[in-house]
Amino acid sequence: MEADKSDTQGDTHDDLVETLSVAEKKILLALDKHDGAASPDELMEATGLEQVRVMNASSWLESKGLAEMEEDLESSYELTDEGERFLEQGLPEVQVMELVINGTDSFGELHERRDDLDIAIGWLMRKQWCTIDKSDGDKTLIPTDKGKNAAAVEHPEIVTLRQIANGEAPDDQDMAETLVQRNALSEQETITRTVMLTDRGKNIAARGFEISEEIAQLSPEHIQSRAWENKTFRKYDVTSFAPALHPGKRHPLSRLIERIRHIFVEMGFKEIEGGYVEPCFWDMDVLFIPQDHPARDMQDTFYCRSPAELSVDEKLLETIKDVHETGGDTGSTGWQYMFDERQARRVVLRTHTTVNTIRYLAGHPEPPAKVFSIGRVFRRETIDSTHLPEFYQIEGIVHERDASFRQLIGLLKEFYRKLGFDNIRLRPAYYPYTEPSMDVEVRWHDRWMELGGSGIFRPEVTEPFGIHEPVLAWGLGLERIAMELYGLDDIRQLYLSDLEWLRGAPLL
């Protein structure tokens, strides 16, 4: 019985060796001489093979259970010009904090002193060093107790920058990543690979084998020259791993956009487009968003420096100003504050695609109308698993006589049904420009995730354009829909260019 077992093992050894390529055999022997583990560079030197052949042969050995490959990812950092400026001059928020403590606290004065004021204010708010006071017309910064002590301490950002400048590894890895996001550090990643024999690979190498020239694939040249008569043919292993073939295809988000576009067209909608840069007048004022609304703060919205202002129609501006201050002819009392025309002309990167639909309504005030748009919008969001500062929004309106809130509910449910969502809910919400309003949510990781808002435009939005019939409106997030459809845990994965995920992403 023992002899039979030995013979069987020998047959298995011989059969397996006969399926190995010359490169695989060379790698096995080289690993055996390196005590079972070596780097790709060491294998190149030992075998005389090119790097691509070493890695290819190692991968095949791994698929056959004869070797394993380990990868270690190491990160290193270097100071950028911004980081060197931080080290030399201090953090922008610290410098602004010092100005505020010394009496320069109004936004107007601070803008004259600091080109990077918007960035500094964002960090002041995040670190809770200041609050914003709007009581006297001009916005001012009020230091908190925490902010008053900020200039007297050494900040972790400076500690980390100094460590990296001195060639040391940072003690605070999270702070290093934050400084990379602030463009104060650049990150380099180095991958170290090691190829190691498995126990099975060690047994094969220990028993030995010959390396001789062989034919892996018969060609017409072999047949014509009759060279095959004196050559050894390598056996094929029909059970071995075969690499998957991945044809070219569109990015998952592009495919989803096309699918959504098709759904809307199928439901009788027409697509419209708009620009990325808009005056606050069209992005917020015409939507009855008050000028002191938190969404207008610099830590929430991207304001442009060039151009800093854009012209708007003066007659329409007066109408909207009247609506904000007193309600105008809409039957509303307005917001009861002094409307600032200069604020209306300030330029922003659009914060929603509702600006597309309101511009369309302004030019097409007579019903019926069913239009939609899909485009990028920009907000100062903290990047996390469900938020991005730049993302896609799906916007749409229905302008019809006798349009109703019930119709809006049915329309949204039908849209999501066509996308494949069964478990959705609609709950009451508040928006300055719609009444009634509701949010759309789907079940995601055992909790409800908001996908967007919807409602009926208020008279303060539609009446200035001569629109007297109801306008149903909604704005939905594309990336969050993609997270659910593609089963993602993190919204950032959509933009990481992970080739393995991109190749395996299903065709929706």
Architecture of domain 79-187: Orthogonal Bundle (1.10)
Asked whether the whole model's pTM tops 0.75, one would answer: no
* Residue 485: per-residue pLDDT: 85
* Residue 313: per-residue pLDDT: 93
Smallest CA-to-CA distance from 350 within 372, 378, 371 is with: 378
Measure the CA–CA gap between 325 and 188, rounded to whole angstroms. 54
Architecture of domain 253-501: 2-Layer Sandwich (3.30)
Q: Is 336 left (phi over 0), alpha (psi -120 to 50) or beta?
A: left
* Residue 230: per-residue pLDDT: 72
Measure the CA–CA gap between 154 and 96, rounded to whole angstroms. 16
Smallest CA-to-CA distance from 16 within 5, 25, 3 is with: 25
CB–CB of 132/143 below 8 Å? no
Q: pLDDT tens-digit profile of 96-128?
A: 888 888 888 888 888 888 888 888 888 888 888
- Which strand (E) or helix (H) includes residue 141? strand 140-143
Smallest CA-to-CA distance from 184 within 318, 90, 293, 287 is with: 90
Least confident residue range of 54-63, 136-145, 391-400, 487-496: 136-145
- Enumerate the domain spans of the chain: 2-72+191-233, 79-187, 253-501
Does the pLDDT at position 7 exceed 50?
no
DSSP code string of 9-42: HHHHHHHHHHTS-HHHHHHHHHHHHTTTEE-HHH
* Residue 14: per-residue pLDDT: 65
Question: Which of residues 89 and 222 earns the better pLDDT score?
Answer: 89
CB–CB of 235/20 below 8 Å? no
Q: Is 183 left (phi over 0), alpha (psi -120 to 50) or beta?
A: left
Q: pLDDT tens-digit profile of 457-486?
A: 999 999 999 999 999 999 998 998 898 888
Does the pLDDT at position 391 exceed 80?
yes
Total number of residues shown for the chain: 508
CB–CB of 54/47 below 8 Å? yes
Mean pLDDT value across residues 314-336: 94
Overall CATH class of domain 2-72+191-233: mainly alpha
Residue 349 Cα distances to 112, 222, 298, angstroms: 22, 66, 12
* Residue 345: per-residue pLDDT: 95
Q: Which two tokens stand for residue 296?
A: 């207008």
Does the pLDDT at position 311 exceed 50?
yes
Domains 2-72+191-233 and 253-501 share a fold: no
Q: Which two tokens stand for residue 436?
A: 């009634």
Q: Which two tokens stand for residue 346?
A: 């300030």
Q: Three-state SS for 214?
A: strand
* Residue 139: per-residue pLDDT: 84
Q: Which two tokens stand for residue 129?
A: 């060093």
* Residue 459: per-residue pLDDT: 95
